[in-house]
């Protein structure tokens, strides 16, 4: 399978309705010219596999030995990346508000961890997941996501790869340039 380009990935997202462009009122109440929902791509196993292969191609040189993802959004793509690399896939989940390894998942000093998420927005959950791996004594060799919507502001201290980058600014309704142009605002089908 040929490596997917960023444009291939964005076309896939548009085709399944995971990336809508227009004028949206998000669950937060903010307005945005775009709506992104990775789960709508990942619900299709073949597309999820293709994304995993694409990320796998980009990170293979980091020689990860385990993929660690934050629940829930990172689990499906983390599993597909791990499949592409032939390594373990584990996830961290919140317990009393703190991201934690549960279910008997463990990391050790010999592990080379790749942190994988569906989308990186501020980088906050990626950093938190990196901290989980380091606290367990493992080495974090990189991080990856299907979509980088951080606008380059994620500030991670490890190598970072994304299949595609999208710019999706958000606006307060009273400062929204799309509203100012009189464009009707719509609510996307599910939570952003």
Q: Which residues bind Zn ion (CB under 5 A)?
A: 31, 176, 178-179, 185
- CB 150, CB 156: distance < 8 Å: no
Between β-strands 88-95 and 98-101, what pairing exists: parallel, antiparallel or unpaired?
A: antiparallel
Q: Which is nearer to Zn ion, 108 or 180 (CB)?
A: 180
Q: Which is nearer to Zn ion, 40 or 178 (CB)?
A: 178
CB of 82 to Zn ion, least distance (A): 40
Q: Is 143 helix (H, G, I), strand (E, B) or coil?
A: strand
Length of the chain: 192
CB of 188 to Zn ion, least distance (A): 13
Q: Which is nearer to Zn ion, 8 or 183 (CB)?
A: 183
Q: Is 35 exposed, middle or buried (0-12, 13-18, 19+ CB in 10 A)?
A: buried
CB of 180 to Zn ion, least distance (A): 8
Q: Which is nearer to Zn ion, 61 or 189 (CB)?
A: 189
């Amino acid at each position: 399978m040929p490596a997917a380009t960023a444009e291939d990935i964005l076309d896939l997202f548009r085709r399944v309705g995971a990336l809508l462009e227009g004028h949206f009122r998000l669950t937060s109440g903010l307005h945005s010219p775009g709506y992104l929902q990775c789960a709508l791509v990942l619900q299709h196993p073949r597309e999820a596999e293709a994304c995993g292969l694409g990320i796998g191609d980009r990170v293979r040189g980091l020689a990860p030995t385990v993929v660690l993802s934050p629940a829930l959004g990172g689990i499906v793509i983390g599993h597909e990346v791990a499949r592409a690399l032939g390594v373990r896939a584990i996830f961290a989940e919140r317990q009393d508000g703190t991201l934690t390894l549960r279910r008997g998942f463990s990391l050790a000093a010999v592990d080379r961890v790749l942190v994988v998420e569906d989308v990186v927005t501020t980088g906050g959950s990626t950093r938190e997941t990196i901290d989980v791996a380091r606290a367990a004594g493992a080495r974090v060799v990189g991080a990856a996501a299907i979509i980088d919507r951080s606008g380059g502001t994620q500030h991670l201290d490890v190598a970072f790869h994304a299949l595609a980058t999208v710019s999706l600014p958000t606006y307060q309704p009273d400062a929204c340039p799309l509203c100012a142009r009189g464009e009707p605002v719509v609510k996307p089908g599910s939570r952003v």
